Structure 1
Amino acid sequence: MAETTLSSTPAPAAGASPLLRMEKVTLRFGGVVALDDVSFEIQQGEILGLIGPNGAGKTTCFNALTGVYQPTSGQVVFDGLPLGRRKRYQINRMGIARTFQNIRLFQNMTARENVLVGADAHHRTGVLSALLRLPRHRREEAEGHRLADELLELMDLAHRADDLARNLSYGEQRRLEIARALATKPKLLCLDEPAAGFNPVEKQRLMDLIRTVRDRGNTVLLIEHDMRLVMGVTDRIVVLEFGKKIAEGRPEQIQNDPAVIAAYLGVEDDDA
């Protein structure tokens, strides 16, 4: 299917550099092409939706920009620097954090301890400093606890701070995973289907939360199947199908794009 270009997509401000660029990224697994020459940009302070039918390559795209997979060709440029073959922890320290389709918390740690794990990502003191309780270690520890409490409050989890993660409800665990990701102080927060399993009230709450995260200074990349949520919270949307980008534009443009309708309904463009 040919890519649809929407000319009325808002252009970035003159002289502005995108926070992230996917530049002709192709990713192959043997004879399977998971991503095929995919290019798009994310502007600072934007909420960008990444959507498409099952198997479109959305999570693979996340994995390519967070260091899980190395592109076969093309490159990912973040904050002006090619990611190259950097390790996942190095990419995280550059300012990219993510959540996962399947919740990945430390189930036998408390909510606060889970967030502290994220806060530790930027700590510079080592084991010796911790054992000797040196001043710099104590400062970093105090800052980590302050940040953890702030994020738990933001996620409405302050009252569950000392509860084990495994004892939290499904929705609380989802919010805790976002809090842990934010604790790494990311410039770009990648959310992989954060509303999975949510009821309508929880989805509305999540929309408000995503806007709050953006208003705090984070840029957000969102994978989500719930179209009402995506259309209600994103500034722009990129659509993938079979590993190819088929459309890009504002929510109202994507909603009425024949190629997107065809991809979701499984019909030819002309029939859509």
Structure 2
Amino acid sequence: MPHERSSAGAGPAPVPGGAALLEVDNVTLRFGGVTALDGVSFTIRQGEIFGLIGPNGAGKTTCFNAMTGIYRPTDGEIRFTGKRVTGLRKYEITSMGIARTFQNIRLFPEMTALENVMVGADAHHKTSVLGALFRLPRHRREEAQGREKSLRLLEFVGIRHRAGHVARNLSYGEQRRLEIARALATDPKLLCLDEPAAGFNPAEKEDLLQLIRRVRDTGVTVLLIEHDMRLVMGVTDRIAVLEFGRKIAEGTPAEVRDDPKVIAAYLGVPADAA
């Protein structure tokens, strides 16, 4: 990992040794008189695990939502593989290769685990409405392929044995894993995880850390929002830190951990005191 200087400058950080995948360029987001994001810039490169951290209310999930089409930035631009994402609909962003999970789990509770993942697999199916209605050969073929793919993903996240169980009957940790499997079913280039370890015990967090690494090893880039600093420092390649909607630091885990501005933000003390 090339050494990078911690920076909170206006433009995206340099990206040595890898192509830029997602670029957040001077993004500002206002809700009425409230500025939720203020000129935030960072770049995520292909094949890395990138962390986005900060105290409660720092703007992490808001930034996530701007990247995935839930919010439209007031100013600035977001680019994915060099193409403008700003202003696109959520399904258009998904089709480009960005998938996400949510801080509050969003599954179809009355559907089985397998059916939930197959919903994600359907994102790239070409069958028409009439083809699905009359179960034409193409629809049956895509359905069989989607089922096989979904079972592989359930195996990958460690819950294939729960494939036939209704989602609401799964444990909390299994539901978290199911949501990751469903996101992976859309064949993302970038997987965005919003607080995936929330509510986990230490053993579950360690298992999640290993799963995130395995996801990256398949060639999927990962963006991680997480409060657990031990997990973030243990799994990420680089980190950007937000406070009150502004980026205050960016760099390797070691650089960010020792940055006085970051310590001050988390401890609630002036930077010079930290």
What TM-score do the two structures reach when normalised by structure 1? 0.95
Post-superposition CA distance 1:62-105 (Å, at most 9, x none): 00000000000001000110013111011001110100010000
Matches of 2:161 and 2:208, distance apart in 1: 19
Residue 6 (structure 1) shift: 7.8
Relative distance call for 1:88 and 1:45 in structure 2 (3 A) is same
1:216-227 to 2 correspondences below 5 Å:
216-227=218-229
1:154 aligns with: 156
3-state SS in 2 of match to 1:108: coil
3-state SS in 2 of match to 1:102: coil
Q: Say whether residues 1:111 and 2:113 are aligned partners.
A: yes
3-state SS in 1 of match to 2:215: helix
Kept after mapping to 1: 8 A contact 2:205/2:231: yes
Unaligned runs of 5+ in 2: 1-5
2:3 aligns with: none
Residue 139 (structure 1) shift: 2.0
Residue 132 (structure 1) shift: 2.7
User: Equivalent of 1:53, from 47, 52, 55?
Assistant: 55
User: Equivalent of 1:140, from 130, 142, 163?
Assistant: 142
Matches of 2:129 and 2:66, distance apart in 1: 32
1:72 aligns with: 74
Post-superposition CA distance 1:114-163 (Å, at most 9, x none): 00010111111122111232222122111101110000001111110000
Kept after mapping to 1: 8 A contact 2:193/2:223: yes
> Aligned letter for 1:41?
T
Residue 10 (structure 1) shift: 7.8
State which drifts further: 22-31 or 78-87.
Answer: 78-87
Kept after mapping to 1: 8 A contact 2:99/2:186: yes
Matches of 2:74 and 2:174, distance apart in 1: 37
3-state SS in 2 of match to 1:163: coil
1:81-230 to 2 correspondences below 5 Å:
81-230=83-232
Please provide the CA RMSD for this pair. Answer: 1.4
* Sequence identity percentage: 69
1:228-247 to 2 correspondences below 5 Å:
228-247=230-249
Kept after mapping to 1: 8 A contact 2:117/2:181: yes
Matches of 1:109 and 1:78, distance apart in 2: 32
Kept after mapping to 2: 8 A contact 1:6/1:249: no
Kept after mapping to 1: 8 A contact 2:113/2:166: yes
Matches of 1:137 and 1:213, distance apart in 2: 29
Matches of 2:212 and 2:112, distance apart in 1: 24
User: Equivalent of 2:16, from 3, 6, 12?
Assistant: 12
3-state SS in 1 of match to 2:37: strand
Matches of 1:78 and 1:109, distance apart in 2: 32
Relative distance call for 1:6 and 1:68 in structure 2 (3 A) is closer
Residue 11 (structure 1) shift: 4.1
What TM-score do the two structures reach when normalised by structure 2? 0.94
Matches of 1:139 and 1:221, distance apart in 2: 33
State which drifts further: 20-29 or 134-143.
Answer: 134-143
Matches of 1:17 and 1:204, distance apart in 2: 29
Residue 57 (structure 1) shift: 0.2
3-state SS in 2 of match to 1:124: coil
Unaligned runs of 5+ in 1: none
3-state SS in 1 of match to 2:20: coil
Matches of 2:197 and 2:86, distance apart in 1: 31
> Aligned letter for 1:201?
A
